[in-house]
């Protein structure tokens, strides 16, 4: 299993905690008493959760200039026409993918092209499904200009548990469809804004895979 580089320190600290706790418990009470077994089970569970969270499995992205693929693993929780007020300042179709703490948290470019806008916004940590989380939570906004000239905006949004957003995009970068663009620690969501008239290929509550599932098809 491959693990994401953003998890190296957390995994190391969790392993250290695992060994310190269990060796310490054994030194205090040699053998396999109930307290030692409980400590072993709890620290193993914590280590398993951390390793699961930072896993980075390979994804098979099939490049297609018409497709907008999911930037994250999770569940589609929003499909609606909204006013996008930060960059486009007009109506767009918003598709939101919610990531639970058990999903893969690598974020990927939904289309290929050139990065035309990047901005980080400090903010609150409302639960990710709160209606105002898209505009008031800590978030990053990235816009990629498609070779056809169409621009697609996607936004990493922190939640009640997610306290760190990582993004690797800079204006002028060449975005590769399905390529890594960032990581959100401990659950949250990604919003994608596509032009009106775009064919939507997913439904509410559908489970999607980052880098593989097609969210929409450009007209």
Q: Is 70 a catalytic residue?
A: no
What residues are paired with 90 via a beta bridge? 84
Tell me which DSSP letter residue 6 carries: G
Structure tokens at 32: 């396999």
Task: Determine which one of 140, 169, 188, 213 is catalytic.
Answer: 188
Q: CB of 149 within 8 A of CB of 111?
A: no
End-to-end CA distance of the chain: 38
Q: How many whole angstroms separate alpha carbon 60 and alpha carbon 94?
A: 25
Structure tokens at 30: 């040699």
Q: How many whole angstroms separate alpha carbon 4 and alpha carbon 13?
A: 15
Q: Which residues are catalytic?
A: 188
């Amino acid at each position: 299993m491959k693990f994401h580089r953003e998890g190296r320190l957390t995994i190391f600290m969790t392993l250290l905690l695992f060994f310190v706790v269990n060796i310490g418990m054994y030194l205090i009470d040699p053998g396999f008493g109930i307290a030692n077994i409980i400590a072993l089970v709890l620290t193993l569970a914590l280590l398993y959760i951390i390793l699961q969270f930072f896993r980075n499995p390979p994804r098979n992205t099939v490049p297609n200039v018409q497709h907008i693929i999911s930037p994250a693993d999770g569940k589609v929780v929003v499909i609606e026409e909204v006013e996008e007020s930060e960059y486009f300042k007009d109506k767009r179709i918003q598709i939101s993918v919610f990531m639970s703490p058990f999903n893969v948290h690598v974020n990927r470019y939904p289309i290929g092209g050139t990065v035309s806008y990047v901005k980080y916004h400090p903010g609150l940590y409302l639960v990710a499904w709160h209606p105002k989380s898209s505009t008031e939570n800590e978030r990053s906004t990235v816009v990629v200009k498609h070779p056809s000239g169409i621009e697609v905006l996607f936004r990493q949004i922190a939640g009640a548990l997610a306290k760190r957003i990582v993004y690797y995009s800079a204006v002028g970068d060449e975005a590769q469809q399905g390529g890594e663009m960032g990581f959100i620690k401990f659950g949250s969501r990604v919003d994608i804004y596509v032009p009106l008239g775009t064919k939507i290929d997913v439904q509410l509550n559908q489970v999607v895979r980052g880098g593989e599932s097609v969210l929409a098809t450009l007209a």
